Amino acid sequence: MINETLRRATAWLQDATYGVNAQLAAVPRDAGDAQPANVVVFADEASHEDAALGRSPETVPAIVVTVESARMINDQVVHEVGDGEVVLNLRLYVADVDAKDAKRDASYYLRALSWCVRKWVAQSPGGSARTKNSVQIVEIGAMEFNALYESKDDRIVAGGARLALTVRDVGLA
């Protein structure tokens, strides 16, 4: 249930039609603000070594998907179809020679990320965009943004969002 949720979310974020980069192109910007570069690394802790070890990616901009928590919902462990909750952290890494520019761009990336997730909500819970290996993402809950933090040395800005999902494992059914 955890691997499937991680990998399905990561695949959606990089979708050519609905993903973060596709949404980034449509995000309105203030006059004089250039469109930020496309996110070049999408990683998750089930598929990428640096993400599994909690290390920042060497190439930015990047989005790293990790699991904050996962649990079966009460009484679901005795049923063939089990519902659970998975909370994902969607960590964003941006770099620029000027920290203020990196923070500005990070805000645009986070807005594109929210648009991407909103497009995901519109997909059918039983459809391929929300299903992997008999695990369905049946509900996409609240998205909470984290503060943006800057590194004093290398001009990396990190931020992101927390996303709560309800999943259903129909593998035994």
Q: What is the pLDDT, as a whole number, of residue 74? A: 64
Domain range for 165: 2-169
Q: What is the pLDDT, as a whole number, of residue 161? A: 96
Closest-CA residue to 154 (of 104, 110, 94, 107) = 94
**Helix spans in the chain (H):** 2-13, 20-24, 49-52, 99-121
Distance CA 79, CA 95 (A): 47
Q: What is the pLDDT, as a whole number, of residue 76? A: 53
pLDDT tens digit sequence for 30-87: 999 999 999 999 999 999 999 999 888 889 999 999 999 988 876 655 566 678 899 9
Q: What is the pLDDT, as a whole number, of residue 81? A: 67
Overall number of domains in the chain:
1
Q: What is the pLDDT, as a whole number, of residue 49? A: 94
- The one-letter amino acid code at 124 reads S
For strands 131-132 and 135-150, give the pairing: antiparallel
- CATH classification of the domain holding 26: 3.30.2000
- Residue 15 in this model has a pLDDT that exceeds 90: yes
pLDDT tens digit sequence for 102-141: 889 999 999 999 999 999 999 988 889 999 998 999 999 9
pTM of the model: 0.90
Distance CA 154, CA 11 (A): 29
Residue entry with tokens 């009460």: 74
| Position with higher pLDDT, 39 vs 154 | 39
Distances (CA, A) of 44 to 5, 14, 61, 80, 150: 10, 12, 15, 28, 22
